[in-house]
Structure 1
Amino acid sequence: MSESTEQVQATDRLWQEFRQGPFPDSLRHATFGDTDVWLVELDIAGCVLRRLDDGGPLNSENSVLLQSRIEDLNRVIPELNDPVATQYCERLLQLAVLVSGNPSVSGG
C-alpha cells in the first residue's frame, strides 16, 4: 500500500519544521517515566530518517519503537505547561504517526 501524495507532503513539511526548530528549553531535562525527552525525539527522528531513506515501511523493530514513542508522547503532551514545548511535541507526534503509516495510533 503506497502513501498518498498528501501524506508524503505532510511528512516532508513536518520534517523540515522539525529540523529547523530548536529543541525547547523546558524539555531539556524533562522525562517520560524513566526516559529523557531528548531520547524520545532521537528515536522518532531516527525512524523518520530510516523511512525517508528507505522509501518503504519501517521494519518491525522500528515500528515497535515508533509505536512506543507515540504512546510516550500521548501520555506527556496533556501534562505540558509550556505552549512551545506542547507545540513541539505535537508536531513530533504528528510526524511519528505519519511515518508509522497507521493514523489510528495517534490516540489524540
Structure 2
Amino acid sequence: MAGVSMVLLDSSVAGCVSTWQHRGGNIDHGRWDILAACEQELLRVIAELDDDEAAYYQRLLDMTVLVLEAPEDSSPS
C-alpha cells in the first residue's frame, strides 16, 4: 500500500508498544524513532484502506501516538 509494507508496519508498532509496556512506560531512542516513522506512514496510508483495515490501522496509530506523547517520565531513555 503506497510503498509501505503493512505487515512490517504492524509488527514494528506492536514490538515497540510491547517493549514500552514491559519496561514500565520507557523505550529507548531507537524504538522511539521507529514509532515516529511508523506514525508518519500510518497517517499516509490509513485513508487508502478499506473500512475494516482502516479501523485496525487506526488503532495502531492511536497506540503509537499514546506512546510518543507519554509523559516525560516515560520518554525515551
Q: CA RMSD in A?
A: 1.3
User: Larger C-alpha radius of gyration, 1 or 2?
Assistant: 1
Give the percent of matched residue pairs that are identical in Structure 1 and Structure 2.
33
> Alpha carbons of 1:99 and 1:32: their partners in 2 closer, same or farther (altered >3 Å)?
farther
Aligned length in residues: 70
1:83 aligns with 2:43: no
Unaligned runs of 5+ in 1: 1-30, 103-108
**What TM-score comes out, normalization by structure 1 length?**
0.60
Does 1 or 2 have the higher relative contact order (CA < 8 Å, sep 6+)? 2
Q: Which residue of 2 aligns with 1:64?
A: 33
- Relative to the length of structure 2, the TM-score reads 0.82
Classify 1:32/1:39 alpha carbon distance in 2 versus 1 (closer, same or farther; 3 Å): farther
Deviation at 1:56, TM superposition (A): 2.9
**Structure 2: tracts of 5 or more residues without a match:** 71-77
1:43-85 per-position Cα deviation (integer Å, ceiling 9, x unaligned): 00000110010013211100000000010000001122x1101
